[in-house]
Structure 1
Amino acid sequence: MNLLTRYRFLTLAVIVLSATMLLSGCNSETKQTTRIETNKTHHVSRLLQTDLIAANGNGADTDLSITVGPRIVIKQELGRISIPYMDFVTEQTGWAVKSGVDHKLTLLQTKDGGSHWAEKQLPGWRVQGLKFISQTTGWVLVDDDCKSNNKGTVICAKEKLLHTKDAGKTWITQWENAASNVSNQDWNTKTIQFPDQNHGFVFVHKQMLLTNDGGQHWKKVNFDNTQFKPSHMSFPQSNTGYVTGVTEGSHPKLLVFKTTDRGVHWKKQFVLSESGEVWSSLGIDFSDVNTGWLLTNQEGMLSGDLYLTTDGGKHWSKQSKQRTGRPRPTSLDLIDANRGFISLDPGAGPIEGGIWSTNDGGKSLNNIAENKGWGIHELQAFNKDSIWAAGNGFNSSDYLMHSADGGKTWGQSYPPLHPVNHIIMSDKLHGYGIGIQSSQQQLLQTNDGGKTWSALTSLNGYSQLHNISFIDPNHGWMIVTKQGPTHHLTQNLVTSDGGRTWTPVSTDMDQGMSSGFNSMYLNFLDHNNGVSAEFQGSGLRIIQTKDGGISWQESFKDPKLTSIQGFTMLSLTEGWYTTYGSERKKEQINIFHMKDGKHWNKVGSIPGYDWNTKALSFPDTKHGWLLLARWVAGVDTLGSEQYRLLSTKDGGKTWISQDFTESLYLENNVQMTFTDDMNGFLTSPASMLQTEDGGLIWTVLQ
Structure 2
Amino acid sequence: MLATDSQSQWIWQNPFPQGNNIYSVKMFDQNNLIMCGKNGTIVRTTNAGSNWKITRIPSGEYLSSMYFIDSNTGFVVSSSNSEIHKTTDSGETWTLNSSGLASSYERIIFINEQTGYACGGGGIANGVLIRTTNGGSDWNVIHTHTSRFTSVSFPSPDTGYVIGHNQTFFKTTNAGANWTSLNIPISNLCMHFTDVNTGYISGNSNANVYKTTNSGNNWTSQSTSAGGSIEDIFFINQNRGWVTGSTSAYSLTTNGGTNWFHFSTGATSDFHSVHFADPLNGCIVGENGKTLITNNGGFIWENLSRGSVSALNNVWFMNSQTGFAVGWLFTVLKTNDAGATWNSIAYNNFSNITLNSVFFTDQNTGYTVGDTIYSPLRGTLYKTTNGGTNWNRHYRTQNGSRFRDVYFLNRDTGFIVTSSGVLKTTNAGANYQSVSGSFDLNSITFITPQTGYCSGRNGVVIKSTDGGSVWTNVATNTTFDLNDISFADANTGYAVGYPDAICKTTNGGINWTTLSAGTFDFRYYSVKFMNAHSGIVTAGRSPGASKILKTTDGGTTWTTDDFYTTELMLSTFFTDGNTGYISGTNGLIIKTSNGGLTFTGLHESVLPESMRLHQNFPNPFNPKTVISYEIGNANFVSLKVYDMSGKEVTTLVNEMNNAGRHEVEFDATNLPSGVYFYAMRVNGLLAGVKRMVILK
Distance 1:516 1:669, change over 3 A: farther
Equivalent position of 1:316 in the other structure: 220
Equivalent position of 2:208 in the other structure: 306
SS state of the match for residue 663, structure 1? strand
Please state if 1:356 is matched with 2:249: yes
Q: Distance in 2 between matches of 1:209 and 1:335?
A: 24
Q: CA deviation at 1:577?
A: 0.8
| Larger relative contact order (CA 8 Å, sep ≥ 6) | 1
Q: Distance in 2 between matches of 1:695 and 1:292?
A: 67
Please state if 1:504 is matched with 2:391: yes
Q: CA deviation at 1:599?
A: 2.0
Distance 1:378 1:318, change over 3 A: closer
Q: CA deviation at 1:592?
A: 1.6
Please state if 1:165 is matched with 2:68: no
Aligned ranges 1:24-423 → 2 under 5 Å: 32=9, 85-90=23-28, 92-97=31-36, 107-118=42-53, 122=57, 129-141=65-77, 159-168=82-91, 176-180=99-103, 183-184=104-105, 188=106, 191-194=107-110, 197=113, 199-205=115-121, 206-210=127-131, 214-215=135-136, 230-234=149-153, 242-245=161-164, 254-256=167-169, 270-272=183-185, 280-285=187-192, 294-296=201-203, 306-309=208-211, 314-317=218-221, 319=223, 331-333=231-233, 342-344=244-246, 354-357=247-250, 376=270, 378-380=272-274, 382=276, 387-391=283-287, 399=289, 401-402=291-292, 412=305, 421-423=313-315
Distance 1:133 1:471, change over 3 A: farther
Deviations 1:309-367 (A, max 9, x none): 3857653216499999xxxx6832467999955444xxxxxxxxx43345797899999
What is the root-mean-square deviation in Å for CA atoms of aligned residues? 5.8
Q: What amino acid is aligned across from residue 165 of structure 1 in structure 2?
A: T
Distance 1:659 1:434, change over 3 A: farther
Equivalent position of 1:576 in the other structure: 453
Q: Which runs of no fewer than 5 residues in structure 2 stay unpaired?
A: 1-6, 11-17, 122-126, 254-258, 502-514, 533-552, 605-696
SS state of the match for residue 271, structure 1? coil
Q: What amino acid is aligned across from residue 332 of structure 1 in structure 2?
A: D
Decide which of 579, 598, 609 is 1:693's aligned counterpart: 598
Q: CA deviation at 1:567?
A: 1.5
Q: Distance in 1 between matches of 2:37 and 2:140?
A: 30
Distance 1:170 1:333, change over 3 A: same
Q: Distance in 2 between matches of 1:106 and 1:381?
A: 18
Q: Distance in 1 between matches of 2:381 and 2:300?
A: 29
SS state of the match for residue 152, structure 2? strand
Q: Distance in 2 between matches of 1:265 and 1:339?
A: 30
Aligned ranges 1:640-651 → 2 under 5 Å: none
Decide which of 471, 477, 483 is 1:600's aligned counterpart: 471
Q: What amino acid is aligned across from residue 567 of structure 1 in structure 2?
A: I
Equivalent position of 1:469 in the other structure: 359
Percent identity among equivalent residues? 16
Q: Which runs of no fewer than 5 residues in structure 1 stay unpaired?
A: 1-29, 34-79, 144-153, 247-252, 273-278, 298-302, 345-353, 393-398, 582-587, 650-655
Please state if 1:521 is matched with 2:406: yes
Q: What amino acid is aligned across from residue 139 of structure 1 in structure 2?
A: F
Is the contact between residue 22 and residue 290 of structure 2 (CA under 8 Å) also seen in structure 1? no
Deviations 1:211-268 (A, max 9, x none): 566446766557xx9778643235688888653235xxxxxx6244567997788787
Equivalent position of 1:456 in the other structure: 343
Deviations 1:552-606 (A, max 9, x none): 42222667212x242136899974312454xxxxxx653321525542134x433
Distance 1:596 1:232, change over 3 A: same
Is the contact between residue 110 and residue 118 of structure 1 (CA under 8 Å) also seen in structure 2? yes
Distance 1:340 1:532, change over 3 A: farther
Q: What amino acid is aligned across from residue 208 of structure 1 in structure 2?
A: L
- Length, aligned pairs only: 523
Q: What amino acid is aligned across from residue 219 of structure 2 in structure 1?
A: H
SS state of the match for residue 177, structure 1? coil
SS state of the match for residue 558, structure 2? coil
Q: Distance in 2 between matches of 1:634 and 1:616?
A: 16
Is the contact between residue 645 and residue 660 of structure 1 (CA under 8 Å) also seen in structure 2? no
Is the contact between residue 333 and residue 341 of structure 1 (CA under 8 Å) also seen in structure 2? yes
Q: CA deviation at 1:136?
A: 1.0
Equivalent position of 1:441 in the other structure: 331
Is the contact between residue 318 and residue 360 of structure 2 (CA under 8 Å) also seen in structure 1? yes
Q: Distance in 2 between matches of 1:493 and 1:578?
A: 24
Decide which of 680, 683, 686 is 2:582's aligned counterpart: 683
Q: What amino acid is aligned across from residue 283 of structure 1 in structure 2?
A: C
Structure 1 stretch displaced more, 129-138 or 284-293 = 284-293
Is the contact between residue 625 and residue 648 of structure 1 (CA under 8 Å) also seen in structure 2? no
